[in-house]
Amino acid sequence: MTNKYYSVKPVLDTKLRQVFIETYGCQMNVNDSEVVLAILQQSGYSLCNSIKEADLILINTCSIRDNAETRIWGRLDIFRLEKLRRKGIIVGILGCMAERLKDELLKHPAVDIVAGPDSYRELPSLLNDLTGGSKQINTMLSHEETYADISPVRMDKNGVSSFISIMRGCNNMCSYCVVPYVRGAERSRDPNSIVREAQDLFESGYREVTLLGQNVDSFHWADPDNPTNTVNFAQLLEMVALIDPKLRVRFSTSHPKDMGHAVLYTMAMYQNICNHIHLPVQSGSDAMLEKMNRKYTRAEYLDRVAMIHKILPECSISTDIIAGFSGETAADHEDTLSIMREVGYYTAFMFQYSERPNTKAARHYPDDIAPEVKNERLNEIIKLQNELSLASNIADLGKVVEVLVEGYSKRSKEELVGRTSQNKVCIFPAGEHKVGDYVMVKVETCSSATLKGTEVK
Ligand code: SAH
Ligand code: SF4
Ligand code: F3S
């Protein structure tokens, strides 16, 4: 937004109406909350740090698993108490759960406003219309909305790394997943607005951007004035990488069925595109992958991994895994453990399958793995991943890595913490360095979660 309220960081002013924003779910939601703050700043709100100071409490929600939603119902009960204590405050529910549950949420005594992921521009008018006393809801999904013209107001703590949404929605219909229902159809954002946003961040001192989409490899933009002029994900990556060699570029999430050679060659060409790919496998069993509608086989997934290693020998790979999907046998579970070993993920997000209402899986495949079995399998997966993470870190001992400093270590102000190109956390003695610096560090010790070392000059 190019007006006097434009700013990368929140404008804090206690004389204005105060908004508190609480965010759950994925990085997309983090970025959406920043878009929401930009919109609200335009209509005279200022960010505050606690519900106790807020005139407006917003909760940006996630529906991906049942426990994500349970947590949010619990928060609404707390907000209700705050409303009883302080008359006149407003509570709005945003995000994926707003989209999924609509009126059911509006009935909660704490809730005044329900706004889905594509309705954030309407927030000021929903707030306005509240003055009539009736609750307000807008959960229309859009085929076009990308918030391309809105510069998110960054709420991160470090001022070094930030998220940029490059697309919204998802067309993939993995059978277990609620995202296509709550986020709508996939649409890509104008690449020029993406580059402008990354450039602004760089000029404000940021040194890393993560390009976000549910399936970045299917990014596709056609110029409305000249539809033969198109941009794909590899081209977009290059456009962002060219902003400045000192701006690190990351992206998430890659879909194994769509990730092609061009992206890998582009990564190889630009040293500032980080050597890390998040490549969710979900399961190592062909039967499960088929039922999940992931559209790749175990062998095809492993081919992608081999291609990554060939083109980018230094690239780290992380993943997402679901334990206990419908009909998963002990042998299917073993297949997941074996693919984990075969790939040697440096880290993973690991979940028990949670049936989501109205998805294809909920309609056709029974949620038939007992909770104890899901739990046991998940624990085995986590235990194995800890071993793999440790092995991956041990392999880095003695190497010199480039660390982008994000802050001070939790234990000591004498130590800085940052990440390597491979996305590994690395701690080292601060010396003269500060947040935002690039430092070459020799790795000397490690745990499964962190590398530790000292600067090499
Ligand atoms: N678009 C990304 C993932 C988005 S959701 C992709 O396709 O990889 C993030 C992760 O949550 C998924 O990768 C999956 O591992 C997990 N997840 C999604 N739905 C789930 C469900 N119903 N139960 C458990 N985990 C789920
Ligand atoms: Fe969900 Fe699959 Fe889309 Fe990822 S690709 S958001 S798992 S439907
Ligand atoms: Fe993200 Fe959760 Fe929505 S993972 S897209 S916030 S359902």
CATH of the domain at 93: 3.40.50.12160
Yes or no: say if 254 and 213 are a contact pair by the CB < 8 Å rule. no
CA 55 to ligand 3 centroid distance, Å: 26
Residue 26 placed within a domain: yes
Name the helix (H) or strand (E) containing 327. Answer: none
* C-beta 351 within 6 A of ligand 1: yes
Instruction: Read off φ and ψ for residue 57, nearest 5 degrees.
Output: -110, 125
Domain end point (choices 113, 138, 163): 138
**Nearest ligand to the C-alpha of residue 318?**
1
**pLDDT tens, the chain, 457 aa long:** 444 345 688 988 999 999 999 999 999 999 999 999 999 999 999 999 999 999 999 999 999 999 999 999 999 999 999 999 998 999 999 999 999 999 999 999 999 999 999 999 999 999 999 876 789 999 999 999 999 999 999 998 789 999 999 999 999 999 999 999 999 999 999 999 999 999 999 999 999 999 999 999 999 999 999 999 999 999 999 999 999 999 999 999 999 999 999 999 999 999 999 999 999 999 999 999 999 999 999 999 999 999 999 999 999 999 999 999 999 999 999 999 999 999 999 999 999 999 999 999 999 999 999 999 999 999 999 999 999 999 999 999 999 999 999 999 988 889 999 999 999 999 999 999 999 999 999 999 999 999 999 999 8
CA 438 to ligand 3 centroid distance, Å: 32
The CA dihedral of 242, 244, 245, 250, to the nearest 10 degrees, is -70
Yes or no: say if 281 and 323 are a contact pair by the CB < 8 Å rule. no
Read off the CATH number of the domain in which 407 is found.
Answer: 2.40.50.140
* C-beta 354 within 6 A of ligand 1: yes
**Nearest ligand to the C-alpha of residue 96?**
3
Residue 200 placed within a domain: no
Task: Of 121, 204, 209, 201, give the one whose Cα is nearest residue 164.
Answer: 209
Residue indicated by tokens 């606690």:
50
Question: Pocket of ligand 2, candidates 28, 174, 216, 257: which has the most ligand atoms within 8 Å of its Cβ, to mutate?
Answer: 174
Residue 39 placed within a domain: yes
Q: In terms of C-beta density within 10 A (0-12 exposed, 13-18 middle, 19 or more buried), how is residue 208 classed?
A: buried
Domain end point (choices 138, 173, 200): 138
Residue 271 placed within a domain: no
Residue 407 placed within a domain: yes
Yes or no: say if 72 and 61 are a contact pair by the CB < 8 Å rule. yes
The CB density around residue 368, as the number of other CB atoms within 10 Å, is 11
Domain interval for residue 82: 17-138
Cα distances (angstroms) measured from residue 299 to each of 63, 90, 148, 184, 327: 31, 52, 38, 31, 21
Residue 182 placed within a domain: no
* C-beta 177 within 6 A of ligand 1: yes
**Closest residue to atom 1 of ligand 1, CA basis:** 214
Residue 436 placed within a domain: yes
| CA atoms within 13 A of residue 216's CA, in its CB half-sphere | 25
Residue 405 placed within a domain: yes
**What is the tally of structural domains in the chain?**
2
